[in-house]
């Protein structure tokens, strides 16, 4: 079911994703988590926070033009059947309609850390490390 939904550029139901995430978090010995690509819509966000009682400390938002993302996806040559122009463009449309409101929600709470992802990999990595270093310093000063 999940593979078919991804192929169609659709979003997997929140209850499925949240249950998978929650199980992985509970089975882990960690108390900090980096969740990639979730929540993807407002319903995901509200359901995750309601079920887990967790609100993120911060949200990373990788800014990159649609043209650059399309170029990278088509050039990654991973043999994924969803790496075709039609599916990629569907995913962009779904992202703009569904995910941007989540980013805006967290931005209104001062929790979004934006990263210019159009830069070279090394520069993006350094920017991400700087965010985590800053967040660790903030957390340490709060304890």
As a whole-number percent, the residues of the chain with pLDDT over 90 amount to 50
- What pTM was estimated for this model as a whole? 0.77
Statement: residue 83 has pLDDT above 80: no
* Residues ≥6 apart with Cβ < 8 Å to 100: none
**Per-residue confidence band for 35, with pLDDT thresholds at 50, 70 and 90:** very high
Which pair of tokens denotes residue 25? 């978090």
At what angle are helices 66-75 and 85-94 packed, to 10 degrees? 140
Q: What pLDDT shows up at residue 93? A: 92
Residues β-bridged to residue 115: 62
Q: What pLDDT shows up at residue 136? A: 74
CATH of domain 2-142: 3.40.50.300
Statement: residue 14 has pLDDT above 80: yes
* Residues ≥6 apart with Cβ < 8 Å to 13: none
53-68 pLDDT tens trace? 999 999 999 999 999 9
100-140 pLDDT tens trace? 999 999 999 999 999 999 999 999 999 999 999 988 767 76
Closest CA to 53 of 28, 13, 26: 26
């Amino acid at each position: 079911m999940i593979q078919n939904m991804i192929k169609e550029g659709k979003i997997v139901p929140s209850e499925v994703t949240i249950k998978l995430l929650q199980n992985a978090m509970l089975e882990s010995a960690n108390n900090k988590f980096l969740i990639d690509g979730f929540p993807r819509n407002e319903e995901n966000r509200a359901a995750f926070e309601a079920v887990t009682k967790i609100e993120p400390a911060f949200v990373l938002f990788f800014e990159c033009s649609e043209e650059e993302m399309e170029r990278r996806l088509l050039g990654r040559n991973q043999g994924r059947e969803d790496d075709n122009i039609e599916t990629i463009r569907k995913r962009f449309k779904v992202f703009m309609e569904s995910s941007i409101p989540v980013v805006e929600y967290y931005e209104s709470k001062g929790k979004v850390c934006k990263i210019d992802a159009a830069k070279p990999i090394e520069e993006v990595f350094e920017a991400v490390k700087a965010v985590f270093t800053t967040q660790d310093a903030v957390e340490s000063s709060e304890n």
